Structures are given as C-alpha cells and as structure tokens.
Structure 1
Amino acid sequence: MTTPPETLAPLAKALAHPARLRVLAALGARGECLCGEIVEVVGLAQSTVSQHLKVLREAGLVTGTVDGPRTCYCLSPAGIAHAKDAFTSLFDDLHGHACC
C-alpha cells in the first residue's frame, strides 16, 4: 500500500458520515466560503455541524477563517487533492482478484 493506513484512516473517518459529505458538497457547489449557511444546508443543529466541521478540519479537507463572531469555511484545495491521491493510491493497489 503506497499510502499508509495512518494517513487514510482520518480521511476515511471524515468522509464516513452523510452530514460531512453534505457539508463538503455544499462548500464545493458554492465555490466560496460559507458561514452560518452551512447549518441551513445540512439541516442539523449548530453544535452538531460544528462537530462535523471539526472532523473535516482535522482531516485537512476544510479550512476556517474567523470573520467577526463567525467562522467562515472553505474547502482546502490541497487537502482535497491529498485525499483524492491517497484513495486513488489505495484503490490502484487493490487488484480485485476474484476469490469465490
């Protein structure tokens, strides 16, 4: 495996929840930073959305900048590219041998 499991696991965790995928999709579709709108788009409580954003930030997929009393979030182009490369590497290493 080219990409170590220690690198893939946090990325897989970050992508393993539908709400986090909705957050990523909203940020990608918008192409700009979102502040309070993320709560509206995802349809969850602010505290829940904050927890999901924390996981996405820790995985390097999202960045946040403070704008007054709010934090605005954007996709991290470098983080997204890294995740894409890491998972491509994983799946390229799997050859899908038939066993049954």
Structure 2
Amino acid sequence: MANFSHFEAKENYMRFMNDFVLAMTDEMRGFLRAVSTTGGGTDVDRDIWIKRTTATYNCHGCIDLGYELTMMHKSCRPSWKTIRMLVLILIYKRTIHQEYEIKY
C-alpha cells in the first residue's frame, strides 16, 4: 500500500482494498513523510515536523501495540525453551569452572 499502487489481477483477492488505498492516499503520504523526515531542512513542511514530534512520530496512533506485542510473544515463545536450556548450561559450566578453578 505504501507504493500507492492498486491491486490488480495478480492480487485479485485484495481488490476490495483499492477504494481504501485511494481514500487514504493523503494520510499515507503524510504518515510516510512524517516518519521518514530526519530534520528541519528547507524541504520539510513545518506541519509534518510538528506531527513528527507528536503522536505520528512514535506511531501510537497508527500501530496496534497489543497486537504487535502478542505477535512478538507468539514468535519468541518457541525459542524460550532453547534459550532457558542454554542459560542453564552456561550457569552450570560457570559453577563447575568456579568450583574447580578451571582457567580458560
């Protein structure tokens, strides 16, 4: 959607989004400009800079934080068992090395 192209035959299942993309073009352009602006140069619109220092910059108004955290939790969860085992192994090795004063 960020490239503002319409969904065509290749993505036929997404064609219903064309009206939405068309209706939200100005908002998407403004958002993309606001989050990609790095300074207050002459090519930067003052309104965009102001938005950048408010809610648009930190994206709280555009990102479902609860959903994103849930997805992060879901993707990290399978790794927790492996990470826990690695941590326990490292703790065990450290304990053994300290007990016997093994030098590296």
What range describes the TM-score normalised by the shorter chain of this pair? Answer: under 0.3
TM-score, normalising length: structure 1: 0.26
Higher share of residues assigned strand: 1
Higher share of residues assigned helix: 2
Q: Of the two structures, which has the highest relative contact order with CA contacts closer than 8 Å and spacing of 6 or more? A: 1
TM-score, normalising length: structure 2: 0.25
